[in-house]
Structure 1
Amino acid sequence: MKGVLIVNLGSPESPTPKDVKPYLDEFLMDKYVIDVPYLLRALLVRGIILRKRPKESAHAYAKIWWDEGSPLVVLSERMQKKVQTLVNVPVTLAMRYGSMTIEKGLQELHDKGVSEVMLFPLYPQYAMASTLTILVKAEEIRKKKFPQMTFTNVTAFYNKPDYIKNLADSIQKHLAAFPYDHLLFSYHGIPERHIRKTDVTKSHCKIDGSCCNTPSPAHDFCYRHQCYETTKQVVKLLGLTEDKYSLTFQSRLAGDKWLEPYTDIEIDKMPAKGIKNLAVVTPAFVSDCLETLEEIAMRAREDFEKNGGENFLAVPCLNDDDQWCQTVGNWINDWAE
């Protein structure tokens, strides 16, 4: 019997330092997130970051928390329920971090008699700290707990025509009533070294402005290329000229060089360039979360207005959009036939 496990990032149980701390510990101690030797990672995370970050992050989570719980979890659950009505195989939701574990999701499918699993990371673009860590963790659990199961992994869908159309249609719908000067595509940042580590050719990715446009097998696993490609295809459907949009990367950590340009720095400059009405879309996420609701819709808006901007629109993620859920349902049905 076939079944589907949809996996998103995860969330603390509540917006309190007590619950945020173990969540951040699990997340930041993941070797695919902070990819340094264990002892150095433990020193950095448990000796430095977790001394201050839980309180700061809890404050940020509290600003976006819903009565039903974490927005990312609630929106992912709504999507899963809609998709379930569109397919004839069981669809379960899990999170890479937190209490909604991948093991629980696989156990739920196992209890329903599922032996063939479509493993579906909810990330359009491939990255070590998102897609890869889900695939590795799921495989570890499968080998240990569910050896009779088989996986079909959903690859990055950054350029699939139906996903691109869903994204473009959603953006267009939200821009219809907003007289914007500029549309900013803000993707989650990653360290540049992650790009080089995932380069299967070991030589193509130079992050020099040309490698992302030069065909290569490396592009199947290159987050930077896939971000630019998503943007290029959406922009084409929207019919935007080059002066009407740009691409940046958000959420960097101090210390290493991360992908540039940086969202916060570019947004701060925009009012002085005559951009008074800014719309921001975040296509690295399919579900709204801390990075979209607090970092962009709150902090970036505040910075934009402080620097002379007048109107700011944070375009929602696809979330449980009907067209998007139908697309996911179609992918599942094609696989399950």
Structure 2
Amino acid sequence: MGSKRVALIVNLGSPDSTETKDVKKYLDEFLMDERVIDLPYWKRALLVKGIILNFRPKKSAKAYQKIWWDEGSPLIVISKRLQQKAQALTDIPIYLGMRYGNPSINDTIQKIKDENPFLTEILLIPLYPHYAMSSYETVEVKVREAMPIIGHDVALTVMPPFYNSKAYIKLLSDKIGEHHPENYDQILFSYHGIPERHVRKTDPSGEHCLVEDDCCEKEHPCQAFCYRHQTFKMTDFVNANLQLPESKVQSSFQSRLGNDPWLQPFTDKRLESLPSEGVKKLMVVCPAFVSDCLETLEEIEMEGREEFLHNGGEEFKMVPCLNDDDEWAALLAQWITDFDPKKSLSEANTF
């Protein structure tokens, strides 16, 4: 008979294998997304298909080979484990889809339809703590485009970004605390970078974000969609729990692409310069990711570590993402069971 209400959790995705052809296919889908590279189609196609896909897949394939598990892509394996753990804690069916690659959103929606003929509601949870057009927004858009597959009217409820969820912040803080951040000279919160123009585009007012240097500190309705503001707030929220001196905590942005202005400071540049500033023992946290992936396991744990130590650092610690942590799975199951769209995550007692 199926269920009238189901949950759909969506993560970024991964190539099907480390073969160059599979990596090329994945990068094509990813980079041709107009919310990732927001250029007119012909310019995007010229850049991606004419330039990037001629050299990037081989290089990326080598990077994926460094972090690939026997079971497959770490991100996919971890996401499935999280789904299974959360499913054991709620009666509401939980489905897993990937924005790029497999299991695709379209295939997952088809599976939801086949298994739940009397479906009335889907609760969508993009597995991104912050709002950005190239992550949270593109997931919601893609799912809405796939909804006609269902064949009848079904309500789509989308859970907002959870960067300000009290329960999530407490959980994240506790997990960081287990690694004794007080014993390090600096804690670097490295968030995935985005172009500055993305921040401006997601400002409905068009007159606040990045207009002034302290725009993120001045309260404004656009901050419900501002990635930069939400990352800075998450750092503040976590440190309010950790209670470290502000001088020991900073935020940076990783994984930039191209020559356009991106959010700063850049993680790689900070890793190069921190040892000369007296930081010998460094802890890095990647709160934009709920699952370890290429950007954490290779870019930070491998390349970032080498950068920091090569430039005079002495100790480097990357805190793992929440991955399939039992408490994280329990919180996700609680969100799915109890979510009330009339209450914000920061206000609801259960969050």
Using structure 1 for the length normalisation, give the TM-score: 0.97
| 1:329, distance to aligned residue in structure 2 (A) | 1.1
| 1:18, distance to aligned residue in structure 2 (A) | 1.1
**Any idea what the Cα deviations from partners look like across 1:8-27, whole Å, max 9, x if unmatched?**
00000111211100100000
On the 8 A contact 2:113/2:150 being kept in 1, the answer is no
Q: Distance in 1 between matches of 2:339 and 2:44?
A: 39
On the 8 A contact 2:110/2:149 being kept in 1, the answer is no
Q: What is the aligned counterpart of 2:34 among 31, 36, 50?
A: 31
Q: Which residue of 2 aligns with 1:213?
A: 217
Secondary structure of 1:209 counterpart = coil
Q: Which residue of 1 aligns with 2:139?
A: 134
**Any idea what the Cα deviations from partners look like across 1:60-115, whole Å, max 9, x if unmatched?**
00000000000000000110000001111100100000121111222222222133
| 1:254, distance to aligned residue in structure 2 (A) | 2.0
Instruction: Output aligned runs, 1:85-164, within 5 Å.
Output: 85-113=88-116, 114-164=119-169
Tell me: CA distance 1:336–1:214, structure 2 relative to 1, closer, same or farther (3 Å). Answer: closer
Q: Distance in 1 between matches of 2:246 and 2:212?
A: 20
1:275 aligns with 2:270: no
Q: What is the aligned counterpart of 1:2 among 5, 11, 14?
A: 5
Q: Distance in 2 between matches of 1:207 and 1:240?
A: 30
1:46 aligns with 2:58: no
1:19 aligns with 2:22: yes
1:304 aligns with 2:304: no
Q: Distance in 2 between matches of 1:144 and 1:162?
A: 35
Secondary structure of 1:174 counterpart = coil
| RMSD, aligned α-carbons | 1.4
Secondary structure of 2:178 counterpart = helix
Using structure 2 for the length normalisation, give the TM-score: 0.93
| 1:324, distance to aligned residue in structure 2 (A) | 1.2
Q: Which residue of 2 aligns with 1:286?
A: 290
| 1:174, distance to aligned residue in structure 2 (A) | 2.3
Q: What is the aligned counterpart of 2:193 among 186, 189, 194?
A: 189
**Any idea what the Cα deviations from partners look like across 1:134-170, whole Å, max 9, x if unmatched?**
1111101103554422210011110010010011011
**Any idea what the Cα deviations from partners look like across 1:33-55, whole Å, max 9, x if unmatched?**
00000000000001110010000
| 1:32, distance to aligned residue in structure 2 (A) | 0.3
Instruction: Output aligned runs, 1:56-67, within 5 Å.
Output: 56-67=59-70
Aligned-pair identity (%): 53
1:198 aligns with 2:202: yes
Q: Distance in 2 between matches of 1:147 and 1:197?
A: 33
Q: Which residue of 2 aligns with 1:324?
A: 328
Unaligned runs of 5+ in 2: 342-351
Q: What is the aligned counterpart of 2:248 among 238, 244, 254?
A: 244
Amino acid at match of 1:169: D
Q: Distance in 2 between matches of 1:267 and 1:146?
A: 51
Amino acid at match of 1:131: Y
Q: Distance in 2 between matches of 1:203 and 1:223?
A: 16
On the 8 A contact 2:109/2:150 being kept in 1, the answer is no
Tell me: CA distance 1:146–1:305, structure 2 relative to 1, closer, same or farther (3 Å). Answer: farther
Q: Distance in 2 between matches of 1:207 and 1:296?
A: 31
**Any idea what the Cα deviations from partners look like across 1:240-283, whole Å, max 9, x if unmatched?**
11111110000001220000000000110011111111110000
Secondary structure of 1:47 counterpart = coil
On the 8 A contact 2:300/2:318 being kept in 1, the answer is yes
Q: Distance in 2 between matches of 1:143 and 1:219?
A: 31
On the 8 A contact 1:90/1:109 being kept in 2, the answer is no
On the 8 A contact 1:3/1:116 being kept in 2, the answer is yes
After TM superposition, the runs of 4+ consecutive aligned structure 1 residues lying more than 6 A away are none
Amino acid at match of 1:9: L
On the 8 A contact 1:89/1:336 being kept in 2, the answer is no
| 1:179, distance to aligned residue in structure 2 (A) | 3.0
Deviates more, 1:49-58 or 1:141-150: 141-150
| 1:237, distance to aligned residue in structure 2 (A) | 0.3
Q: Which residue of 2 aligns with 1:68?
A: 71
On the 8 A contact 1:167/1:234 being kept in 2, the answer is yes
Q: Distance in 1 between matches of 2:276 and 2:340?
A: 53
Q: Distance in 2 between matches of 1:137 and 1:63?
A: 30
**Any idea what the Cα deviations from partners look like across 1:186-243, whole Å, max 9, x if unmatched?**
0000000000000011111125331111111101000000000100000010001111
